[in-house]
Amino acid sequence: MVHTPQIRIPATYLRGGTSKGVFFRLQDLPERCQVPGPARDKLFMRVIGSPDPYSAHIDGMGGATSSTSKCVILSKSQQPDHDVDYLYGQIAIDKAFVDWSGNCGNLSTGAGAFAIHAGLVDPARIPDNGTCVVRIWQANIGKTIIAQVPVSNGQVQETGDFELDGVTFPAAEIVLEFLDPSDDGEDGGALFPTGNLMDELEVPGLGTIKATLISAGIPTVFVNADEIGYSGTELREQINTDPDALARFEAIRVAGALRMGLIKTAAEAATRQHTPKIAFVAPAKDYLSASGKQVKAGDVDLLVRALSMGKLHHAMMGTCAVAIGTAAAIPGTLVNIAAGGGEREAVRFGHPSGTLRVGAQARQVDGDWTVTKAVMSRSARILMEGWVRVPEDAF
């Protein structure tokens, strides 16, 4: 019997925001995985432990949730005036595919910190103490992200007193700026792909519901909680343990993807699970977060729950937060209406783990809305570094 040896690949396991993933430098990957294709996809699936019919990721680095089934590649940037190119793969849990169709806003935080850790930023630009501005080219969607990373004694400062709901321990604050976050890269399209701030969406088995379809940060389908039978205060277990509810949300997501032109047929949605996101909104009200902390209606402008990879997210995806902030800034969207209407440049919303504030600068030019920048604070911390091992025949 021939036994296939394991190979080891330099890797870093890192938390960014409310997600975590396995980070690689492009130059450290096996040669056939340094270019896009089946070998790279198979490698990342084996690293994470997918596809796993048990949905447990026991034999891999994944955590069996959309927030923890991720891989990232960083390299010195090929773009002018950028430090690093950042490529993100969302690995399906029980299916054999990697979705490259969007960004992870949470791991964008990690990309800024890892770029410094991995020696991909010019040392002359890293202060002994202060803030290092890392200019990131998000290669999935062709957009610029600016990460303001704190530095202490020439190294990334990871500990601090910044608290992020959905993350157990405080850490150092990293401010992210998503520049010109509208338009989903390869798919093209405007901030509002249908040209409307609000659409009537026909959903098989559900009927006609109102929806705001926006492409900012990540393509997102927003619907009203009360139109689909929810209050907006739901926690993860209330949605994720209900197969019928998950099927309805997927039907809404597919209908939205078709209307936005992201897919041509409903069947294509099965291989594009990462985008678009589906989220439901409601006016502010009191609720208990997943940690048992009381969130008061007066603490937030509105409530938002969002699904990622077919399940309700335990907190909020960073890219979806960009979509929330952008939509909230534009009068007439469902998000803006739920927040009380009017013009605004920042919004604080309640999610299952607590609250989050995000700012967005939107303006109307010749009748069309554009967004120039969205800003939020996250944190990042290395959990483990060294090598990840995979069987040599896995890819």
3-state secondary structure string across the chain: CCCCCEEEEEEEEEEECCEEEEEEEHHHCCHHHCCCCHHHHHHHHHHHCCCCCCCCCCCCCCCCCHHHCEEEEEEECCCCCCCEEEEEEEECCCCCCEECCCCCHHHHHHHHHHHHHCCCCCHHHCCCEEEEEEEEEECCCCEEEEEEEEEECCEECCCCCECCCCCCCCECCEEEEEECCECCHHHCCCCCCCCCCCEEEEECCCEEEEEEEEEECEEEEEEECHHHCCCCCCCHHHHHCCHHHHHHHHHHHHHHHHHHCCCCCHHHHHHCCCCCEEEEEEECCCEECCCCCEECHHHCCEEEEEEECCEECCCCCHHHHHHHHHHHCCCCCHHHHHCCCCCCCEEEEEECCEEEEEEEEEEEECCEEEEEEEEEEECEEEEEEEEEEEEHHHC
Pairing of strands 287-288, 277-283: unpaired
> For residues 249 and 243, what is the distance between their CA atoms, to the nearest angstrom?
10
CA 28 to each of CA 4, 5, 31: distance values in angstroms, whole numbers, following the listed order: 21, 19, 8
Longest CA–CA span in the chain (Å) reads: 70
What is the C-alpha to C-alpha distance for residues 54 and 299, in angstroms, rounded to an integer? Answer: 40
Give the span between the Cα atoms of 81 and 245, in whole angstroms: 46
List the structure tokens of 268. 């294509």
Catalytic residue positions, numbered: 104, 317
The token duo for 336 is 């803006």
- Residue 8 backbone dihedrals phi, psi, to 5 degrees: -120, 140
